[in-house]
């Protein structure tokens, strides 16, 4: 193992709040590339993120799922609304698979059209697209503190690497590595990194990901931190094991002992 120390961070929900970008890009993907006969896109939908979308977002693991959620919210018949969103959430994974099957879609294809939607916006007006992301400045400051201590940062995200890279560059953040969804699962990436580096911690807003890290023999030693400011389910803040620490933005630097 190298003596080089590194710190792992998730991207969406940890470094930036991309809720507006998720909605806008997924909506554009539905409108421009999905060719679904069951939806009708009103331009007013681009102006405000529906609460239903915000409330379902914590269940999302991969970007392509957001295309499904937007499709189901804007359907002309029996769309997801406040009164029935619980039914969708309670069987979230099964419902995503059902929508794929019912429409003869492939998850990888939905991911491609989401990426295509992002590329279209970047080519058309990069600044507008970047400004859909709101950075958490406390986290940016924390990353700067790590840099001063010669601790390198590594971003592991389910967003495409190219898109995370563009946003980070705009924020003047240059991590040692950026791993997008193309690189495989977060746990596999962590496994590889732990063979070459000393990992001082991992900040993530998906509780299940941290549980998986802790339950894996190769990565169980990594200190895990759940980002309280991220896209958390109400239940995520409770019943945390002693191995996963809940972090708050207000005392981020004090809580992560480096």
Q: Provide DSSP, 64-98.
A: HHHHHHHHHHHBSSS---TTTHHHHHHTHHHHHHH
**Distance separating alpha carbons of residues 51 and 35, to the nearest angstrom:** 25
- Tell me: the pLDDT tens digits for 102-129? 999 999 999 999 999 999 999 999 999 9
Q: Answer whether 161's CB lies under 8 Å from 179's CB.
A: yes
CA dist list (Å): 116 to 32, 33, 53, 90: 10, 8, 21, 30
Mean pLDDT (whole number) for 76-84: 93
pTM: 0.93
pLDDT confidence of residue 2: 59
**Distance separating alpha carbons of residues 248 and 142, to the nearest angstrom:** 12
**Distance separating alpha carbons of residues 146 and 131, to the nearest angstrom:** 25
What does the mean pLDDT of the chain come to?
95
pLDDT of residue 258 exceeding 90: no
pLDDT confidence of residue 22: 97
pLDDT of residue 21 exceeding 90: yes
pLDDT confidence of residue 251: 86
**Distance separating alpha carbons of residues 187 and 184, to the nearest angstrom:** 8
Q: What is the CA radius of gyration of the chain?
A: 19
Beta strand extents in 157-223 (DSSP E only): 177-179, 198-204
pLDDT of residue 254 exceeding 90: no
Q: Answer whether 57's CB lies under 8 Å from 231's CB.
A: yes
- Tell me: the pLDDT tens digits for 138-180? 999 999 999 999 999 999 999 999 999 999 999 999 999 999 9
CA dist list (Å): 239 to 60, 207, 235, 242, 243: 21, 11, 8, 9, 11
pLDDT of residue 131 exceeding 60: yes
Domain-wise residue ranges, the chain: 5-17+134-255, 19-130
pLDDT confidence of residue 11: 98
Three-class secondary structure of residue 130 per DSSP: helix
Choosing among 3.40.50.10440, 3.90.45.10, 3.30.300.30, 3.40.50.1000, the CATH entry for 5-17+134-255 is: 3.40.50.1000
**Distance separating alpha carbons of residues 242 and 244, to the nearest angstrom:** 6
Mean pLDDT (whole number) for 74-102: 96
């Amino acid at each position: 193992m190298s003596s080089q120390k590194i710190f792992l961070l998730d991207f969406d929900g940890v470094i930036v709040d991309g809720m507006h970008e998720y909605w806008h890009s997924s909506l554009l993907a539905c409108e421009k590339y999905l060719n679904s006969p069951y939806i009708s896109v009103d331009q007013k939908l681009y102006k405000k993120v529906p609460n239903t979308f915000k409330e379902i977002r914590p269940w999302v693991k991969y970007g392509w799922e957001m295309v499904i959620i937007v499709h189901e919210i804007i359907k002309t018949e029996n769309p997801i609304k406040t009164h029935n969103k619980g039914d969708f959430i309670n069987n979230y994974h099964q419902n995503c698979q059902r929508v794929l099957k019912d429409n003869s879609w492939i998850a990888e294809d939905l991911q491609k059209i989401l990426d295509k939607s992002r590329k279209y916006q970047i080519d058309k007006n990069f600044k507008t697209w970047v400004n859909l992301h709101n950075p958490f400045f406390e986290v940016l400051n924390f990353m700067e503190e790590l840099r001063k201590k010669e601790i390198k940062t590594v971003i592991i995200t389910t967003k495409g690497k190219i898109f995370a890279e563009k946003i980070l560059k705009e924020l003047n953040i240059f991590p040692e590595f950026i791993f997008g969804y193309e690189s495989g699962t977060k746990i596999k990436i962590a496994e590889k990194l732990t063979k070459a580096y000393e990992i001082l911690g991992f900040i993530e807003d998906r509780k299940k990901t941290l549980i998986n890290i802790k339950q894996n023999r190769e990565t169980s030693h990594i200190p895990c931190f759940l980002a309280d400011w991220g896209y958390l389910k109400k239940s995520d803040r409770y019943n945390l094991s002693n191995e996963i620490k809940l972090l708050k933005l207000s005392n981020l630097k004090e809580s992560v002992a480096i």
